[in-house]
Structure 1
Amino acid sequence: MGLTALPVGVVLHDVQAGWLAWTWLGLSCLAWPHLAYAWARRSQDPYGAEARNFLIDSAIAGSFLPLMHFNLLPSAVLLTVATADKVNSGVPGLWLRALPGMVLAVLAVGLLTGFEVDLASRTGVILACLPIMTIHTLAVSANLYRLVRRVQDQNRQLALMTRRDSLTGVDSRSHWEDQARKLLDQHQREAAPACLLLLDIDHFKTINDRHGHGVGDDVLRALARRMGETLPASGIHGRLGGDEFVVALPLPVTEALEHAERLRAAVQALEFPEVPELSISISLGLAPPPHGGDLRAWLEVADHALYRAKHGGRNRIERTEPLAATPAT
């Protein structure tokens, strides 16, 4: 509003405006901004109060046009800046709601001043318009830049939330499935090595019942850390749900089996200082992709291997040789 006073003041000087016009200029551009700020700060609804202030700003901008005899450049600048402020506020439809007040102000002041028109803008008027044109544009651009960066940060956080399991930090089930399908497609196209490792914690329900779900969560996080420390970084680590985890490894069966055994031993060696008596173990099912099967068939083959490990004494690994895929029922 202070920058607005410069071009309006130059034009008022050129048209030899009276003291009422100069008084209105001073009140509007120097006093009104502070009054509007105080009004919004003290209001029980600052957001609504500021929206009303924006509407008044537009009416003020409209009132200056007849006072300037509709001098072309400053009139266009004021209307553009006033409208841009409403759009930049982010309030839906605010610029449209501001138009009636702006038009009424033009008509009311025009009736008082006789609608005199002098469109030409001399060099001094053009120079007086430059500060508000430049500074306002940069200020709006800076605000939009901050908003864009904020949205980008929020999008990255949202993408991370959808990709990661919030408790353990491994891939969420949906993201893991997408990545595992890509590995399976590569295996089927190029015969690239691939194995699926399905594992869960032995007697996990007993751990929750005996020590509480907080300790159970600690156990899940500790297992996820061991997976990250022990298994190859090229593996796709995910959580299917509960205490069941899955890893897609771009490795042949023999190498995958070695890594699985290291993970089993590392998990068995875990210690929990807050619960010294607690020790855990995992059972694992290892499976190469079934011939011609999809991801669901691959998971079922690995699940059969895990089932054998659980019923074969737990704390062990069972592997399945490649089998022809069977239609899902």
Structure 2
Amino acid sequence: MENQRGKGLSFARRIYRPRIIGLGIGAISVFATLYPLDLPNWTWALLVFNGLVWPHLAYQLSTRSAFPYQAERRNLLYDSLMGGFWTATMQFNPLPAVTILSMMAMNNVAAGGLRLFIRGSLSQFAGVLLSWALFGASFNTQITALQIYACLPMLTLYPLAVGIVCYRLAIKLSEHKRALSALSRTDSLTGLLNHGSWKDLLHIKFHKCQQRQMEASIALIDIDHFKAINDTYGHIIGDTVLRHLSSELRRNLRHDDLAGRYGGDEFCVILPRMSQSQALDVMERLRQIFSQYRHPQVPELKVSLSIGLAAFSPDFQDPSSWLNAADKALYLAKNGGRNQTANNAGKSHFEQTQMA
């Protein structure tokens, strides 16, 4: 309900300024055509009300309504009714009549498509019948120079106002589309890439490494005994640990490194243009920093990471074989006692340190 009201208010705001411009300068065209005719004084008062007061009154009626969208669509039908009324009152003088009716038709199509265009046309016809009932049916094909000049602002300024509104709406829709695209690619809890998006990028990076013979490494990261953390301290604490790891990944990686949540308590990272030894240093720093984490409400909670690392090799047939190498390295780190980093050469960080 609240969301629908917000959309209705946005719709009313988009219509507000074009209505001010359209009815204001449209009144000039109507005045120039009606001036030679012998009409009662109330007609001029109605023209002033319709051109200068109604745009603001219509905006207040729609914004104060419980259903702004429906109220604004009714206002558009009132606009069409008066458009038909003034067209007939001007005795269907060709230039101002076509100008007003076409501008209103454009406005109805832009605001509500074919359905509003049809309803607006029926409202215009009702306005014509109302004018004929009051003043009789008359037709005048004579166009004066004053009427031509009076129609020029309507033919230039109003389409410009509608174009600006449509352009702003297109920009907003584009921004929403980008935001939705970003949401579909990210994990809602951590803000990192989700499983599918990260694997798509892995395919891209794999083929780029093949074509350019460039170095790259991938890492699979697992939070040790994460199920026990959830079972002991609850899922809220577990989610806090996941978010902390994601923030440490963003803090310790380069801007073009690609981190994602692979699933559950497992994370994944693509490290382009990075050798295995460099990647090992980065992952070890991350592991050590993360192990220092202490939750303020659960000071006894201790966390650690097991990390499997795999450097790109031309021997890999496809991205899955590269990922499988990292997965095997992760298994080695877990099987070796956890809280360590292992690579696809089959050695943990501790073993490499001892050999050096």
Q: TM-score range by the shorter chain?
A: 0.7 to 0.9
Distance 2:91 2:138 in 1: 5
State which drifts further: 92-101 or 112-121.
112-121
Distance 1:255 1:30 in 2: 71
Whether 1:188 aligns to 2:210 is: yes
Please state how far the C-alpha of 1:36 moved relative to its aligned partner.
5.0
Whether 1:197 aligns to 2:219 is: yes
Note if contact 2:293-2:303 (Cα within 8 Å) is conserved in structure 1. yes
Instruction: Supply the AA of the counterpart residue of 1:71.
Output: N
Whether 1:305 aligns to 2:326 is: no
Whether 1:176 aligns to 2:190 is: no
**1:240 aligned residue:** 262
Per-residue CA shift, 1:278-303, capped at 9, x if unaligned?
Answer: 22110011123462422223222211
2:338 counterpart (314, 319, 324): 314
Whether 1:257 aligns to 2:280 is: yes
Q: Any idea what SS the aligned residue of 1:166 has?
A: coil
Distance 1:92 1:116 in 2: 30
Instruction: Provide the aligned length of Structure 1 versus Structure 2.
Output: 322
Whether 1:166 aligns to 2:188 is: yes
**1:327 aligned residue:** none
Per-residue CA shift, 1:18-45, capped at 9, x if unaligned?
Answer: 5575566456556765765565466554
Distance 1:295 1:220 in 2: 26
Distance 2:198 2:63 in 1: 49
Please state how far the C-alpha of 1:271 moved relative to its aligned partner.
2.9
Question: Cα distance 1:61–1:182, how it changes in 2: closer, same or farther (>3 A)?
Answer: same
Percentage of matched positions with identical amino acids = 38
Please state how far the C-alpha of 1:154 moved relative to its aligned partner.
1.3
State which drifts further: 43-52 or 149-158.
43-52
Q: Any idea what SS the aligned residue of 2:35 has?
A: helix
**1:274 aligned residue:** 297
Please state how far the C-alpha of 1:247 moved relative to its aligned partner.
0.9
**2:237 aligned residue:** 215
Distance 1:233 1:3 in 2: 53
Q: Any idea what SS the aligned residue of 1:228 has?
A: helix
**2:306 aligned residue:** 283
Distance 1:186 1:53 in 2: 57
1:97 counterpart (116, 119, 123): 119
Please state how far the C-alpha of 1:158 moved relative to its aligned partner.
1.5
Instruction: Supply the AA of the counterpart residue of 2:321.
Output: A
State which drifts further: 85-94 or 308-317.
85-94
Distance 2:213 2:57 in 1: 74
Correspondence list, 1:39-188, <5 A: 40=62, 44-90=66-112, 93-106=115-128, 109-110=131-132, 115-188=137-210
Distance 1:182 1:225 in 2: 25
Note if contact 1:168-1:221 (Cα within 8 Å) is conserved in structure 2. yes
Instruction: Supply the AA of the counterpart residue of 2:37.
Output: V
Note if contact 1:86-1:95 (Cα within 8 Å) is conserved in structure 2. yes
Per-residue CA shift, 1:82-128, capped at 9, x if unaligned?
Answer: 11221232466201222123234435645775643333332222232
RMSD: 2.8
Q: Any idea what SS the aligned residue of 1:118 has?
A: coil
Structure 2 alignment gaps of length 5 or more: 1-22, 347-356
Note if contact 2:198-2:259 (Cα within 8 Å) is conserved in structure 1. yes
Please state how far the C-alpha of 1:185 moved relative to its aligned partner.
0.3
Per-residue CA shift, 1:249-287, capped at 9, x if unaligned?
Answer: 222222222222222222222233332222211001112
